[in-house]
Amino acid sequence: MSEKNESGASAVAGTSGTSGASGAEGGRTAQLKHTGLRPGWTTGACATAAATAAYTALLSGEFPDPVTVTLPRGQTPAFALAVEELGEGTATAGVVKDAGDDPDVTHGALVRVTVRRLPPGSGVVFRAGPGVGTVTLPGLPLEVGEPAVNPVPRQMIREHVAAVAAAHGGTGDVEVTVSVDDGEEIARSTWNPRLGILGGLSILGTTGIVVPYSCSAWIDSIRRGVDVARAAGHTHVAGCTGSTSEKTVVAEYGLPEIALLDMGDFAGAVLKYVRRHPVDRLTVCGGFAKLSKLAAGHLDLHSARSQVDKGFLAELALRGGADAGLAAEVAAANTGLAALQLCQARGVPLGDLVAVAARDEALAVLRGAPVAVDVICIDRAGTVVGRSDVR
């Protein structure tokens, strides 16, 4: 499997809700604490730390060790350096990834970043070094031919390069080459080859934090979250697949943290527990691809146990007015996002169709429990790409 979706990463440094009447801690923060598992750092956070240290050394001649970075949610972890190499016009730093208690295949991997000066006006240019993949197929959040350094890690690196330049009199115009020792071998245990990411791993992360994965602990934490929300008198709760979907739900409905359930991949755990312990309304919010799995009848959304069924998406597209040619393109798409984009370009509301199908699947699992359900599908940027009505 690849680096895990960072559902609940905000729990590491966010403020937790309280139930008021009961005094029990609730919300996504409490869920993470309740698991008793230690969070870790994404490859994107490690690459940011390595890039920061390398560029600092390039400008000052000294490697900061440990090197402190600021993550998107404001956390400021410090990373020890495993590699320091200062050359003529280049500097390389390396950080060993610590995934905490998560069984991540990249745990212990050495992430290296080499920074090289570029002419003024060049900006920050990313390159894939050994062990980092290159995008070869459409449907991912990067253009074909680009190194597989995802958008949020790129932004983190750019911001830290700018801060180092301001502190040490640099221009901020650099080539950043990211490598991972044995990354090509590790990538064979991920979905990268099937997604057309060839030559190694992706540098991932939307919050910089890996939330540890444990089926029993996480499902227990979901149950605790429902119990605390109910005890606090909240009648509308939301099951979110990650931190981006959490933001979407808060923006849409203004729900407090105590009403947010860090569902992660465990849609079935939320639905089955709410069936026995009803609330008036349940909103399910997550990425289009994940919720297409729920729409197809999967209750465990983890990539190791369920896959996006493009044939199913093609059937939905046909119901939404797609012709046979478009349906064939959807069935052959590289990713769920690519299928969505094909339909969006032709005016077929595949996002809404998936949301409605996911809502209906959720209602089937609820088996008549007095719970109204709606579903919101988002893309990687948090833009709503599909929604159902409440039923």
Same domain, 234 and 150: no
**How are beta strands 90-96 and 110-117 bridged, if at all?**
antiparallel
Q: Which of 158, 188, 210 is the last residue of a domain?
A: 210
Helix, strand, coil percentages, rounded to 5, for the chain: 40, 20, 40
Q: What is the pLDDT of residue 326?
A: 97
Is the N-terminal amide bond of 72 cis, ω within 30° of 0? Answer: no
Q: Which of 146, 180, 210 is the last residue of a domain?
A: 210
Same domain, 232 and 180: no
Q: Does a structural domain hold residue 329? A: yes
Q: 132 - beta bridge partners? A: 201
Q: What is the DSSP letter of 194?
A: T
User: Phi, psi (5° rounding) for residue 118?
Assistant: -125, 165
Same domain, 83 and 29: no
- Whole-angstrom CA distances from 270 to 10, 98, 254, 260, 362 are 19, 29, 20, 11, 10
> By the 8 A CB rule, do 24 and 231 touch?
yes
Q: Does a structural domain hold residue 102? A: yes
Same domain, 153 and 282: no
**What's the angle, vertex CA 312, arms to CA 309 and CA 317, rounded to 5?**
125
Q: Does a structural domain hold residue 365? A: yes
Same domain, 317 and 270: yes
- The sign of the dihedral angle between the CA atoms of 274, 279, 281, 283 is negative
Q: Which of 183, 210, 237 is the last residue of a domain?
A: 210
Provide the domain count of the chain.
2
Q: What is the pLDDT of residue 22?
A: 37
Closest by alpha carbon to 51, among 76, 79, 24, 73?
79
Strands (E) located in 98-226: 110-117, 124-128, 131-132, 134-135, 174-180, 197-198, 200-201, 209-210
Same domain, 74 and 59: yes
Tokens of 128: 């894939």
Alpha carbons 12 and 305: distance in angstroms, whole number: 27
Crossing angle of the two packed helices 310-319 and 350-366, in degrees rounded to 10: 110
Q: Which amino acid is at 292?
A: S
Same domain, 176 and 158: yes
Q: Does a structural domain hold residue 177? A: yes
Same domain, 227 and 167: no
Q: What is the pLDDT of residue 264?
A: 85
Q: What is the DSSP letter of 120?
A: T
**What's the angle, vertex CA 107, arms to CA 103 and CA 109, rounded to 5?**
155
Alpha carbons 275 and 147: distance in angstroms, whole number: 45
Alpha carbons 162 and 168: distance in angstroms, whole number: 10
Same domain, 160 and 243: no
Q: Does a structural domain hold residue 53? A: yes
> By the 8 A CB rule, do 359 and 387 touch?
no
Q: Does a structural domain hold residue 4? A: no
Q: What is the pLDDT of residue 251?
A: 96
**How are beta strands 260-262 and 281-287 bridged, if at all?**
unpaired
Same domain, 16 and 145: no
- If you write DSSP's letter for every residue of 195-260 in order, what string do you get? TTEESEE-B--SSSEEPP--HHHHHHHHHHHHHHHHHTT--EEEEESSHHHHHHHHHHH---GGGE
Q: pLDDT in tens for each of the 391 residues of the chain?
A: 333 333 333 223 232 333 333 345 666 566 666 667 788 899 999 999 999 999 999 999 999 999 999 999 899 999 999 999 999 999 999 999 998 877 778 999 999 999 999 999 999 999 999 999 999 988 788 999 999 999 999 999 999 999 999 999 999 999 999 999 999 999 998 878 877 899 999 998 888 887 666 577 678 778 888 988 899 899 999 999 988 999 999 999 999 988 999 888 899 999 999 999 999 999 999 999 999 999 999 998 877 678 899 999 999 999 999 999 999 999 999 999 999 999 999 999 999 999 999 999 999 999 999 999 999 999 988 999 999 999 9
pTM: 0.65
**Owner of token pair 């998936």:** 354
CATH at residue 152: 3.30.2110.10
**Owner of token pair 């370009």:** 345
14 HSE (CA, 13 A, CB side): 27
Same domain, 23 and 63: no
Tokens of 328: 């064939």
**What's the angle, vertex CA 383, arms to CA 17 and CA 356, rounded to 5?**
90
Q: What is the pLDDT of residue 2?
A: 35
State the residue range of the domain holding 370.
Answer: 9-38+213-387
Q: Does a structural domain hold residue 312? A: yes
Q: Does a structural domain hold residue 3? A: no
- If you write DSSP's letter for every residue of 324-388 in order, what string do you get? HHHHHHHHT-SSHHHHHHHHHHTT--HHHHHHHHHHHHHHHHHTT-S-EEEEEEE-TT--EEEE-
Distance in Å from the first CA to the final CA of the chain: 35
Same domain, 271 and 167: no
Q: What is the pLDDT of residue 38?
A: 82
